[in-house]
Amino acid sequence: MIFKRSASEINAGSMADIAFLLLIFFLVTTTMDVDAGITRKLPPFEEALVPQANTLHKRNIFTVLVNADNQLLVEGDYLELKDLRTKAKAFISNNGDGSCTYCLNAAGLSSSSDNPQKAVISLQNDRATDYKTYISVQNELVAAYNELRAELGQARFGRKLGDLNAQEMNELKAAFPQVISEAEPVGL
Amino acid sequence: MSKFKKKTGGGTPAISTASLPDIVFMLLFFFMVTTVMREVTLKVKNEKPFATEIKKLERKSLVTYIYVGKPTKTYEAQLGSEPVLQLDDAIARVNEIRNFVITKREEINEAERPLMTVSIKADENVKMGLITDIKQELRKANSLKINYSTRKGEVFEDRR
């Protein structure tokens, strides 16, 4: 009698158990959160505070103060956080000296910025301000710039921000340069 | 003898589990692709604030993390309830940041050092005083690229 050698079937019943084990291992050791956030660049550290010659004209500075109770004082007036974006946009695209040819619905007020290149947003907060509020304020200010860029991108290239190439994006960034200056916190 | 066999068991036939490993493997691959390895054990509460205008951090190897928040329940007895900061696996003081950042920078390839980003992962209930101190230390360490880590979501949405 000849033994017919045939490969006997491997029992695959425990395959599921092995896979489950691996699955549970990965579930436990990994996290799902993606690293994303608001990117900022800090100014270099100076040992002694050098008094800087203030070359900026007052009308070109948009001051945002946040106090310990998380309230906003924007350009000397109390403001709700949800109105900050509109106000910042109006300030940046004010076009006071008429040199900004692409500013849409520019108000041209004499108390607001000359042109987007000169416009500076100055942010100052209290040491007791909540981090949450601070991030919200930062977010609204960045959103103001992004909205202006998106509007210009739509008018100039007819596309959304995400669909633009690097060169077009740089053009928009040059049109609305983002200048947010942060002062050291003081008691407000 | 009847032509048809009488069914003996009567109950439902066993469901084939042959495709079970395939299903589980599919799940496994999904999780392997979408998640990242946890690097540190968090000792502080870390509920990040919400923001919409966020940028994704691309190069993981160039990012250093600073966690800020109140100690979790397990460490409350040991560390108190005031917000503290965590560097890697250890709770640290603010003045330790400078050395930490410099050490981390040394580990990076020299050509890429200027691209190093410090990601501040702070809890939303932390006060700005601590964050300002951290920023001041980072300026002293000449590590100027920072990222306030946030979650994606509307700022004004009421989440309670």
In tens, the pLDDT along A3-12 reads 666 777 777 7
Quick one: pLDDT at residue B64? 87
Task: Please give the domain boundaries of chain B with CATH numbers for all domains.
Answer: 50-152 (3.30.420.270)
- Residue A94, min C-alpha distance to chain B (Å): 23
pLDDT per residue as tens digits for the range B15-69: 887 788 888 889 888 888 888 777 788 888 888 888 888 888 887 788 888 888 8
Record the pTM: 0.78
Q: In terms of CA atoms, which chain B residue is nearest residue A134?
A: B128
What distance lies between CA A153 and its chain's CA centroid?
A: 18
For an interface test with B, the pick among A70, A135, A142, A161 (most B C-beta atoms closer than 10 Å) comes out as: A135
Above 70 in pLDDT, residue A60?
A: yes
What ipTM describes this predicted complex? 0.76
pLDDT of res. B128 = 86
Q: Alpha-carbon distance A44 to A57, whole Å?
A: 23
pLDDT grade for B10, boundaries at 50, 70 and 90: low
Closest-CA residue in chain B for A144?
A: B53
**A178 class by beta-carbon count within 10 Å (0-12 exposed, 13-18 middle, 19+ buried):** middle
The more confidently predicted of residues A89 and A55 is A89
Q: Which residues of A touch B48 (CB under 8 A)?
A: 37
Enumerate the domain spans of chain A.
Answer: 58-182
Interface test with A, best of B123, B155, B156 (most A CBs within 10 A): B155
Q: Is A138's CB within 8 Å of B123's CB?
A: no
pLDDT band of residue A50 (cuts 50, 70, 90) is low
Question: Of A33, A133, A94, nearest to B51 (Cα)?
Answer: A133
Q: Edge-to-edge strand order for the sheet containing B117-122?
A: B55-56, A36-41, B145-149, B117-122, B63-69, B84-87, B90-92
Q: How far apart are CA A92 and CA A90, in angstroms?
A: 6
